[in-house]
Structure 1
Amino acid sequence: MSDDAPPAEKTSFLKSTISLGGFCEVIAFLSLTGTWLGSLGRYGWVFDLLSHFRLQYIVVCAVVLLYALCCRRTLLVLVAVVSLLWNAQIVYGTHQTAEVARSATPRPLRVMTFNVMTDNENHVAAIEHVLKADADIVCLLEVDETWRMSLEPLRVKYPHRVEEMNDGNFGLACYTRLPLKSSEVRRFTIWRLPSIVLNLDHLGVPLTFIGAHAIPPMGGLSAHEWREELSQIGAIVAGIHGEVIVAGDFNATPWCDGMRLLCEQSGLQFRSVDPVWPPTWGLKLPMMIPIDHVLVKGGLSVQKRVIGPEMGSDHRSVTVEIVR
């Protein structure tokens, strides 16, 4: 009986090794599923939600690839490489969407969008940051009644403003030094969430600016209303035959299906020399994503794009320079 003991221990150890290796491979394959399920966004809100994390999938694919190479798992190497390249080409597609162009205007038009966050207590620093940016058009999101007094320096600096601060986390305020011809607050979805539309004059040419904050698509109903809001904004832009700028918190990454539908329906584009994939939300979290954007239409292009510093909000500001 003593002679039979060693083989039994060897078999047990071999089984545990195989079991551990198989478990790791299952985890590795599962970690790659987001890449492919996220590509099915048009077929369901859960799939589109998974599409937002392309930057994270690149890291995961690289780790799985290293594991597969070390373990000499040929199939897993192949799947990891294809997944890595798939995510990389999607992100690379937003790296540069416009060429450097000679401006037809004396100076670029500066536009800032900043979700200051309703619960942000650092009002002074946030407003000083906005003032320092010296943008021609400023769109602030999540401004409620607690922000009303803090916004006074912007009212002094800018001759034109539209403030809609009675909507909690979806309050908006827009400020501009451009001549304002008209303005209105449009409300979308069953929740009647506001967007601000400014009809401006930019060096003698009509310019429409829309500031928007879309609802987060974190459930079946909210995802439906999110797509509906983007669709309605797209319909407005599609009906404007001229220069348009849409800016704000879209709760949409450049590669999700909701953003694809908005751009296809409206004719809006990122058209940016600088990449639009750097995250603007959750920079202290592993799930950081780019959801704050400036899109343009009608011969405009973004020649410079700057993400602001941390100012007490979970979002960073986005300031762009736009030329014709």
Structure 2
Amino acid sequence: MSDDAPPADKPIPVNKTVSLGGLCDAIVFFALSCTWLGSLGRYGWLFDLLSHFRLHYVIVCALVLIYALIRRRTWLVLISLISVLWNAQIIHAFHQTSEVEGASGDKALRVMTFNVLTENKNQTAAITHVMQTDADIICLLEVDDSWRASLEPLRIKYPHHVEELSDVNFGIACYTRLPMKSSEVRRFTVWWLPTLVLNLDHLGRPLTFIGTHPMPPMGGQRAHEWRDQLSGIATLVSGLPGEVIVAGDLNATPWCEGMRLLRETGGLDFHSVDPVWPPTWGLKLPMMIPIDHVLTKRGLTIQKRTIGTETGSDHRSVTVEIRRSSQ
């Protein structure tokens, strides 16, 4: 019997490399799948979640098109080209939703919506930005009790204000220099999130301003509540007389299902000369998307739309100038 130890079993070599072609094919499948599944938003929350990233799909599908041309895959060239055009036309539909002509000579009504971010460490910069904008109506989101002192300059400057300071990132406050006839807090879902409804006078005509902030549609239950809140607002707006403005962090891109409900059921639309697709949230992230909006109804046209600078929030403010149609 030998004293030598038996030789150790040698490990079987495993090829752990992934071919570049296989990786590209996986990216191709993912990009094209998201493009088309995102068009089925009305059939499920996950499909609708995919719809928010049309800007990204244009870029990725264009890269897929280049890849397909290099690899000379005719069928992939055709599918990727259709996907690029499909996403591009969806975005282009919101490039200009109103004409420059046809506005009255009335002074423009300036409206600002801004999610200031509850845990924003630079409250002074955020409020300074709001004050300098000098809007006629201001809607601030995610204001809680820690913002109470910082909001004092707005209370002094604006004769009318309504505040619902919440501790769960869904506080909301509105300030206006327009005459206010009445105001109320509406809650559309079991989460009891506040929506502010202000009944104002705009150059001798009644104007209803609605500021809201539904929760992000992440997960089945939250997506259901998000859709219910937007549906509730749409139903409310459909029965309102006079001019209407809805503004806020809607957690909705222009091409998602929730926005479709607002536009079709509520009769709202962007009515904007400027494009409404530039991102307003996550500008430091690769998944930046446009979710802060102002929509109007009954002859109100947005003649100018401006995205604010960085002031400590993960959102940028949106300020619009609204005029009545001359017709």
TM bucket normalised to smaller: over 0.9
Quick one: distance in 1 between partners of 2:139 and 2:23? 49
Q: Could you tell me which residue of structure 2 aligns to residue 121 of structure 1?
A: 121
1:117 and 1:26 mapped to 2: Cα distance?
37
- In the alignment, the residues of structure 1 paired with residue 22 and residue 218 of structure 2 have an alpha-carbon distance, to the nearest angstrom, of 34
The residue aligned with 2:249 is 249
2:164 corresponding residue in structure 1: 164
Q: Distance in 2 between matches of 1:288 and 1:258?
A: 18
Q: Is the 8 A contact 2:182 2:200 kept in 1?
A: yes
- Give, in angstroms, the shift of residue 257 of structure 1: 1.1
In structure 2, the partner of 1:134 is 134
Structure 2 spans left out of the alignment, 5+ residues: 1-16
More helix by share: 1
Paired with 2:157 and 2:103, the residues of 1 have a C-alpha distance of: 26
Conserved 8 A contact 2:246-2:296: yes
Per-residue deviation, 1:218: 0.2
Is 1:228 matched with 2:228? Answer: yes
Displacement of 1:18: 12
Partner of 1:24: 24
Letter in 1 for 2:180: L
Which residue in 1 is equivalent to 2:188? 188
**How big is the shift at 1:23?**
4.9
In the TM superposition, 1:72-83 aligns within 5 A as 72-83=72-83
In the alignment, structure 1 segments of 5+ residues that lack a partner are 1-16
| Alpha-carbon spacing, 1:195–1:167, altered in 2? closer, same or farther (3 Å) | farther
Deviations 1:90-133 (A, max 9, x none): 00000000001343243100000000000001011100100110
* Corresponding position: 1:262 with 2:262: yes
Asked if structure 2 preserves the Cα contact closer than 8 Å seen for 1:197 and 1:209, the reply is yes
**8 Å Cα contact 1:167/1:193 also seen in 2:** no
Contact 1:143-1:168 at 8 Å conserved across structures: no
3-state secondary structure, aligned to 2:150: helix
Pairing 1:89-104 to 2, within 5 Å after superposition: 89-104=89-104
User: How far off its partner does 1:241 sit?
Assistant: 2.1
1:1-324 equivalences under 5 Å are 21-324=21-324
- Say which SS state the counterpart of residue 30 (structure 1) adopts: helix
Q: Which amino acid aligns with 2:154?
A: L
Counterparts of 2:256 and 2:310, CA distance in 1: 25
| More displaced 10-residue stretch of structure 1: 103-112 or 72-81 | 103-112
CA RMSD of aligned residues (A): 1.5
Task: State the AA in 2 paired with 1:116.
Answer: V
Is contact 1:282-1:288 (8 Å) kept? yes
- Structure 1 residue 29: Cα displacement: 2.2
Task: Give the direction of change, closer, same or farther, for the CA distance of 1:150–1:277 in structure 2 (3 Å limit).
Answer: same
SS of residue in 2 equivalent to 1:231: helix
Using structure 1 for the length normalisation, give the TM-score.
Answer: 0.93
For the Cα contact (< 8 Å) 2:184–2:196, is it kept in 1? yes
SS at match of 1:188: coil
Structure 2 distance, partners of 1:190, 1:146, is: 25
What amino acid sits opposite 1:104 in the alignment? Answer: S
User: After the TM superposition, which of the residue ranges 66-75 and 221-230 deviates more from structure 2?
Assistant: 66-75
Name the stretch that deviates more: 100-109 or 81-90: 100-109
Cα distance per residue 1:230-249 (max 9 Å; x no partner)? 00001110011210000000
Structure 1 distance, partners of 2:18, 2:110, is 60
Amino acid at match of 1:144: D
